[in-house]
Chain A
Amino acid sequence: MPEDKNNTGAYLPRDPSSHPAALHPPYRSSRLRSPQAAPLSFPTTLSEDTGPVFTPDILGPLDGDLLHNFAASGQSAIGPRIIVHGRVQDQFGRPVKDALLEIWQANAGGRYRHAKEGYIAALDPNFGGCGRVMTDAEGRYSFRTVMPGAYPWPNGPNDWRPAHIHFSVFGAGFAQRLITQMYFEGDPLIWRCPIVGAIADKSAVERLIAPLDMENTAPMDALAYRFDITLRGRQQTLFENRMEGL
């Protein structure tokens, strides 16, 4: 049964082993920004079971096309053209429809378009690096962009980020709110990255690595990568018992 915005029920508790540690000293920025007390747990309430409501009419026609959404007329971004697609589902395998995905990334040279970014790689005048899409009734999404480049960052003496795309995901409930990063199959930098290394569970890292998906390439146009996202699931039976009394 698809996830429904009107269907408010408690979410499964978060499994910390699926996530990075708050403090991972090799990732330097986490040292002063990680809470030291254990977070307080309680079952989700309406404040977390509900969430912001978005409808596809907020999307512009090019929001899912990073090749063109910042480009001058008749131009397109430079770099290997790729399609990124997948399915957003909950922990029970139910599709999450109308999920809003916001994406951002560096350009093909590994440079972000941001005032605080100083990497020597060139900006691409036709690439902004942001976009957004919503899932359909089956939880599917798709966008196209360029393959982002790897880049060095000030952490250790010589740390490089693997090529990645940032995803911000809104499901139906605020409890499902998630920001993550998608990596690319075969990138040797993934297992050297201190940000990735904050996740202790190897299989949790592997689920962030999108495999090349030859079946969904656009021949003579773009390669495809598949990235499926799993959000927290609602405890359906509790919902039925609970909401009737409210």
Chain B
Amino acid sequence: MRERPETASQTAGPYVHIGCTPNFAGLTGVHPEDLGRHMITGPTTGERMSLTGHIFDGEGEALRDAMVEAWQPDAAGCFAGQTGADPDFNGFGRCPCDADTGEFRFETVKPGPVAWPQGGFQAPHISLWIVARGINLGLHTRVYFADEKAANAADPVLTQISGNRVQTLLARPETTGAYRFDIHLQGPDETVFFDV
């Protein structure tokens, strides 16, 4: 059987906030809280961390109208919805970039390792999905951790990346539990994006 074609993507446009984070857009009173506002919903287990960054365009300007989504497992490597997953962690975050500075920020727990389909494990990572005006198809990337050297060296995705582009996927600890991850859409530091 020939599969049906997937519906085409179109850009989220400059007003993505109206639909995805209406309270952030000043459209209060429609939904009680913007979806994805809290990844941690109780006394979750694991190491608390924050992830902060900017998204830069080809001229080094920070995007101030983008939206970033994060999806990750809990500290033990279980995803929400799976048996045994931490009930205090939903794994999903959504953050509109700050309208003035362009910064995005997630408060989460450091993810555990996830199985690789052919055996073994992937290094701890957070999946990100980025949409904005000018982005025609949402961009998938992954946040790995600079302080997970051994796991990263064995990661089946990172080991497919040649040269120093792996560096674009590493979040760097700034203080304890505070990681920075900047995304470059173009240029010499262009982030590795995934067709996955």
Contact = CB atoms under 8 A, between A and B. Distances in A.
Interface string A27-61: 11111111111111111111110111100001010
Contacts of A32: 57-59, 61, 134, 185-186
Contacts of A158: none
Nearest to A204: B8
A116 B61 CA distance: 18
A177 B138 contact: yes
A40 B114 contact: no
B75 interface: no
Given A33-B63, A70-B30, A229 B19 contact: no
Contact of B136 (A30, A38, A229, A242): A30
Contacts of A132: 19, 31
Contacts of A10: 117
A205 interface: yes
Q: Is the interface of A mostly helix, strand, loop or mixed?
A: loop
Given A14-B195, A104-B18, A166-B12, A231 B27 contact: no
Interface residues of A, number: 90
Nearest to B81: A53
Given A44-B196, A198-B136, A113 B18 contact: yes
B145 to A, nearest CB: 15
Interface stretch (B45-53, B102-110, B123-131): B123-131
B27 A113 contact: yes
B137 A19 contact: yes
22 contacts: A8-B82, A18-B5, A24-B136, A30-B135, A33-B135, A37-B192, A39-B193, A39-B194, A40-B195, A44-B196, A50-B80, A60-B31, A93-B4, A114-B15, A129-B18, A168-B16, A177-B69, A178-B138, A181-B10, A203-B5, A207-B5, A230-B5
Interface of B: 1, 3-20, 22, 25-27, 29-32, 35-36, 57-59, 61, 63, 65, 69, 71-73, 79-82, 90-92, 99, 114-117, 122, 125, 127, 129, 131-140, 142, 156-157, 160-161, 185-186, 190-196
Interface of A: 5-6, 8, 10, 12-16, 18-22, 24, 27-48, 50-53, 58, 60, 63, 69-70, 89, 91-93, 102-104, 112-117, 128-132, 166, 168, 174-175, 177-181, 195-196, 198-199, 201, 203-205, 207-208, 229-233, 242, 246
